Amino acid sequence: MFRTTVFRKKIAITAALTAAVACAAMIRPATLGAAETLGAQEIMVKRAAEAVLSQVEPTAEEFRKKAMDPEGAKAIITASGKVLTREDGKWITPENGPASDSEISIVFVGDIIFETGQNPWSSIAYSDGIRACFDDATWETLTGADFLVVNNEFPYTDRGTPTAGKTFTFRCPPWTAQWLGEMGTDIAALANNHVYDYGEEGALDTFDTLDEEGIPYIGAGRNIEDAEQTAYCIANGTTVAILNATEIERYENPDTREAGEDSPGVFRMLDTTRLCEKIREAKEKADLVIVYTHWGTEKMPSQDWSQTTKAQELAEAGADLIVGSHPHVLQNIEYVDDVPVFYSLGNYFFGAAARDTGVLRVTVNTKEPSISSLQFIPMLQYRGVSTMEGSEKQRVLDEMQSVSPGVVIDENGYFTQE
């Protein structure tokens, strides 16, 4: 519809210019010579064109903005001219609008948990509130993002029983989900190997809790259609699709159940066929596509064979950026067919031990929809989370550089392909 309207307006402009030329020819002053007559015609044509454009351009711009505004709309036109409808996935917009009219920021964090047995530092939140778990710089990074995506690695439930035979099972009281909102969370990524720790009851309670808190979730759901849903982050007329899936555990009958037609569970990607289909679908609807995966081998500083294979498959399907979690440590950065892959963000707020961590800040240029910058911000997980500075920050950046050949990481954590 938008393209059709613009096309019609172009026809109107052409017709107006043609009429202006004819008019100029008819009123040619008899006293002017050939050169002077041509100059007069050009001036008249130019003035006529300017008059037409002054009427058409504001109307076209107004229509364009209206077509890109998600407020109350059932469908919108994205910055690159694609059509997105409400039925295509979960629409998410910044609560207070984007901080800039020319770009948006999306921040990804790794594993979080509020269970004090696994993460003793979360006890600070139970006594003093979640704000007390982060220093000022870290809090600003989280709450200052236009969109914040966290790997929520546990269920919110007081019901159910722990999965029999599973070594580590976690859960947190449903009321603690309010902390996600206080942190500025826009998307809770649930495709991981702990959201089903307390079975179907625990998973369903998690979905209900997040719905009540108004926090969209992806990667798990009440059925496979729900679990596979794509989140569409919309701001400044630009739409960024985010998908979430897990390959953990890596066997055919895992403890963490895959969602079925009528049963809750996660979006699995042990075989990436379905995820690649969803990426291609999102590519037709959104300006950019980001995949947040739960994969890899725990404690490994770089990717394993499965991550390498799957990264290639997701890149070929159309992903513009791939971000990973699960190994509990930071892993390397690589470009696969020019697609940046941050293999693991590691633990973020998840354990007792002091551990290097950080966040990935993605800045999107909304004038010409593209990723304008990628920044890894080093942080320390110990007695909460704090942003690193000075020599410690440089140490982590140097370590990331050492395991990321083909990538250049500068002193501020911005990285590009070599």
- pLDDT tens-digit series, residues 217-259: 999 999 999 999 999 999 999 999 999 999 998 988 899 999 9
Contacting residues for 241 by C-beta, under 8 A, at least 6 apart: 89, 230, 231, 232, 233, 282, 283, 285, 286, 288, 289, 290
Q: Has residue 73 been placed in a domain?
A: no
Question: Higher pLDDT residue, 33 or 273?
Answer: 273
Q: Return the exposure string of 33-53: e unless at least 16 CB atoms fall within 10 Å of the residue's CB, then b.
A: eeeebeeebeebbeebbeebe
Claim to verify: residue 389 and residue 249 sit in the same structural domain = yes
Claim to verify: residue 171 and residue 301 sit in the same structural domain = yes
Half-sphere exposure in the Cβ direction for 37 (13 Å, CA) = 13
Claim to verify: residue 137 and residue 245 sit in the same structural domain = yes
CATH number of the domain encompassing residue 395: 3.60.21.10
pLDDT digits (tens, 9 = 90+) for 318-356: 999 999 999 999 999 999 999 999 999 999 999 999 999
Among candidate residues 109, 244, 121, the one with its CA nearest the CA of residue 183: 109
Residue 58 CB neighbour total at 10 angstroms: 10
Number of domains in the chain: 2
What's the mean pLDDT when you consider all of the chain?
Answer: 90
Claim to verify: residue 155 and residue 59 sit in the same structural domain = no
Residue ranges making up the domain that contains 375:
79-417
Claim to verify: residue 263 and residue 371 sit in the same structural domain = yes
- At residue 28 the predicted structure's pLDDT band, cuts being 50, 70 and 90, is very low
Half-sphere exposure in the Cβ direction for 46 (13 Å, CA) = 6
> In this structure, what token pair is assigned to residue 205?
């309670």
Claim to verify: residue 314 and residue 343 sit in the same structural domain = yes
> In this structure, what token pair is assigned to residue 75?
């469908």
**pTM of the shown model:** 0.86
Q: Has residue 74 been placed in a domain?
A: no
Contacting residues for 92 by C-beta, under 8 A, at least 6 apart: 147, 186, 187, 216, 231, 232, 233, 234
Claim to verify: residue 319 and residue 295 sit in the same structural domain = yes
Residue 35 has pLDDT above 80, yes or no: no
Claim to verify: residue 234 and residue 98 sit in the same structural domain = yes
Q: Has residue 171 been placed in a domain?
A: yes
**Per-residue pLDDT, 20:** 44
Taking the C-alpha atoms of residue 367 and residue 388, their distance in angstroms, rounded to an integer, is 32
Claim to verify: residue 56 and residue 83 sit in the same structural domain = no
Q: Has residue 163 been placed in a domain?
A: yes
pLDDT digits (tens, 9 = 90+) for 122-147: 999 999 999 999 999 999 999 999 99
Q: Has residue 361 been placed in a domain?
A: yes
CA dihedral 394, 399, 404, 408 (to 10 degrees): 20
SS3 350: coil
Q: Which helix (H) or strand (E) element contains residue 280?
A: helix 273-285
pLDDT digits (tens, 9 = 90+) for 79-95: 999 999 999 999 999 98
Claim to verify: residue 51 and residue 192 sit in the same structural domain = no
Q: Using the 3D structure, point to which of 11, 35, 68 is the last residue of a domain.
A: 68
Q: Using the 3D structure, point to which of 26, 45, 68 is the last residue of a domain.
A: 68
Claim to verify: residue 16 and residue 136 sit in the same structural domain = no
Claim to verify: residue 12 and residue 106 sit in the same structural domain = no
Q: What percent of the chain has pLDDT over 70?
A: 87
SS3 237: coil
Q: Has residue 226 been placed in a domain?
A: yes
Q: Has residue 348 been placed in a domain?
A: yes
Q: Using the 3D structure, point to which of 68, 101, 121 is the last residue of a domain.
A: 68
Average pLDDT over residues 20-47: 56
